[in-house]
Amino acid sequence: MRRHDLGRTGIEVPALAMGAASLGSIYHPVSQDEADATVATALECDLNYFDVAPYYGLTTAETALGKALKGFARQSYTLATKIGRYGDQDWDFSADATKRSIEASLGRLGTDHIDVIQCHDIEYGDLAQLRNEALPTLRKLKEEGVVRFIGVTGYRLDVVEKIAVEEQVDTVMAYCTYTLQDRRLAPVAERLAAAGIGVLNASPLGMGLLTTRGAPSWHPGNERVFELVAAAARLCTLAGTDISELAMRFALTTGHEHGIATTVVGTANAHNVRENARWADSEPDATLLKQVEAILAPVMDAGWDVLPGNGGKAGG
Ligand SMILES: NC(=O)c1ccc[n+]([C@@H]2O[C@H](COP(=O)([O-])OP(=O)(O)OC[C@H]3O[C@@H](n4cnc5c(N)ncnc54)[C@H](OP(=O)(O)O)[C@@H]3O)[C@@H](O)[C@H]2O)c1
């Protein structure tokens, strides 16, 4: 597995990282045995960066990840979690909530420190509170060694970039914006990387959109996007492949040239972990990619902020 510098943190991240939201059963029910097998397989494949949040499965993803990591040496993996989002419509960037959240995450994850702590989906929270309470609290915890690096995450790239640069955070996680269907993160990632900020591209499968199973019922995307992606998925099946394979190969082999340090995919399936790792280093089929891009052209870069969908969980 290729590894890249995560900005100026000194952490070398695998080109493919593991998103543990899935372990909170947000896409399909997941048992602890499945979570254990997924995490063990990820570590076997050198995918030793795990991203999670209290919000995922309302703390169940952190609990499952903590149990699955038990027994593996703490220094053998990098752990990233979040503060600030606690429900579909529940943000709190106060100092008290930040401290309480980190204490609870440490307990669920069975560790005494968090490598990367991120303020979650900042554009929907109170940005003044984020600047005046959450970030200063995290900086203090950084001095105390409880957290090693501080980041922000979100969907609105303009908000995320502005706060990241002004507050000089260490990392930025964006999601669903560097995929087969949406490339808007590319120029933003180039600027952030040039500023020394580590960029994580989450959801290369567009939160399940770019799979043969299709987007989950809570997905905030637009019907027109779903229709055209389904047509592209059928074309991939006819070509003897799977749209997920094309999507993963695309994100993984082209992301780094735009400053993306790692791509964070979510799965709760050990077989899919192996497939994703296998696809990490090989180019997508150029002819098929062109055909799929032609199908998706009418909705290229059309996220749910451009073509509103049903609101979904990830919306404001
Ligand atoms: N605001 C934020 O900070 C934010 C937002 C979104 C995501 N994230 C992070 O990014 C991570 C990844 O995002 P995500 O999980 O929401 O979306 P994603 O990675 O785009 O898609 C996950 C879906 O793809 C399926 N999948 C994965 N590998 C597959 C394969 N090889 N073949 C077929 N299907 C496959 C998974 O199902 P199976 O379980 O069946 O494999 C799951 O349904 C999250 O876990 C989270 O850590 C952060």
pLDDT digits (tens, 9 = 90+) for 89-102: 999 999 999 999 99
Q: Are 103 and 138 in contact (CB under 8 A)?
A: no
CATH of domain 3-215+248-282: 3.20.20.100
Computed over every residue of the chain, the mean pLDDT equals 97
What is the Å distance from ligand 1's center to 141 Cα? 29
Q: Are 78 and 52 in contact (CB under 8 A)?
A: no
Q: Delimit the domains of the chain by residue range.
A: 3-215+248-282
What is the Å distance from ligand 1's center to 219 Cα? 12
What is the Å distance from ligand 1's center to 208 Cα? 6
Atom of ligand 1 at shortest distance to CA of 205?
A: 20
In the structure, which protein residues have their CB atom closer than 6 angstroms to any atom of ligand 1? 19-22, 27, 51, 120-121, 153, 173, 175, 202-208, 211, 244, 264-269, 272, 275-276
Q: Is 27 a catalytic residue?
A: no
What residue's CA is closest to ligand 1, atom 34?
A: 211
Task: Give the model's pLDDT for residue 312.
Answer: 65
pLDDT digits (tens, 9 = 90+) for 212-269: 999 999 999 999 999 999 999 999 999 999 999 999 999 999 999 999 999 999 999 9
